[in-house]
Amino acid sequence: QAKNLFPYNIMLIGFMGCGKSTIAKYLSHILEMEDLETDDFIVKREDMTINEIFQRKGEEYFRKCESNALKELETRQGIIISCGGGMPMRDENVELMKKNGKIVLLTASPETVYDRVKYSNQRPLLNGNMNVEYISNLMEKRRSRYESVADIVVNTDQKPIHAIAEEVVSKL
């Protein structure tokens, strides 16, 4: 009965390993809202893994897929959308995202991110660059964009999932 507490979409953004997918699933459960990930959406559409898309078609192609995914989701309401880490880097995406819902930025230190993603081989930008320094540099390049797009910011370092989710909800 608690469905559609929020009359807008909740868009989770942030660097790889900041917990977007995990928090989206948790929020989906407690708010009884559907959640989806733009990465999953693209993987299904393209019938390739994220790695395969980057390898066979290149990053630019993937970025276009991301914009297309956002456009297709424009008509949806009351859902939680977990965005790939690079989504807010394109201006056209930012416009769509702002129209589409509340933007929640999840943050974490480079060390935390490294710990969370170090065994992942499904993050093409980090394949061969899996170290704190690389993560820290890329994060720094993206920081101001992430911050300028966000309506709400929640740090996820050393916090249990439920505490992060509760903090998000309290700020919505």
Minimum gap (Å) between residue 119 Cβ and ligand S3P: 13
The residue among 12, 15, 54, 51 whose CA lies nearest residue 135 is: 15
Number of residues that bind ligand S3P (CB under 6 A): 10
- Scored b (16 or more CB within 10 A) or e, 66-78 reads beebbeebeeeeb
Residue 21 assigned ligand-binding role: yes
The residues in 7-36 that bind ligand S3P, with binding defined as CB under 6 A, are 16, 20
Q: Does 104 bind ligand S3P (CB under 6 A)?
A: no
CB atoms < 10 A from the CB of 97, how many? 23
Query: Interface with ligand S3P by CB under 6 A: which range of 2-10, 68-76, 122-130, 145-153?
Result: 122-130
Are 23 and 35 spatial neighbours (Cβ–Cβ below 8 Å)?
A: no
Residue 22 assigned ligand-binding role: yes
Q: Which is nearer to ligand S3P, 22 or 167 (CB)?
A: 22
Q: Does 113 bind ligand S3P (CB under 6 A)?
A: no
Q: Which is nearer to ligand S3P, 85 or 101 (CB)?
A: 85
Q: Give backbone dihedrals phi and psi of 36, rounded to 5 degrees, phi first.
A: -145, 160
Q: Does 88 bind ligand S3P (CB under 6 A)?
A: no
Q: In the structure encoding, which two tokens stand for residue 55, read together?
A: 């390898």
> DSSP assignment of 83-98, as one string?
--TTGGGSHHHHHHHH
Q: What angle do CA 95, 49, 29 make, to 5 degrees?
A: 65
Q: Which residue has the tokens 């480079």?
A: 110
Q: Does 101 bind ligand S3P (CB under 6 A)?
A: no
Q: Which is nearer to ligand S3P, 18 or 31 (CB)?
A: 18
Residues 126-165 as x/- pattern, contact with ligand S3P by CB under 6 A:
----------------------------------------
Interface residues with ligand S3P (CB under 6 A) are 16, 20, 39, 50, 84-86, 123-125
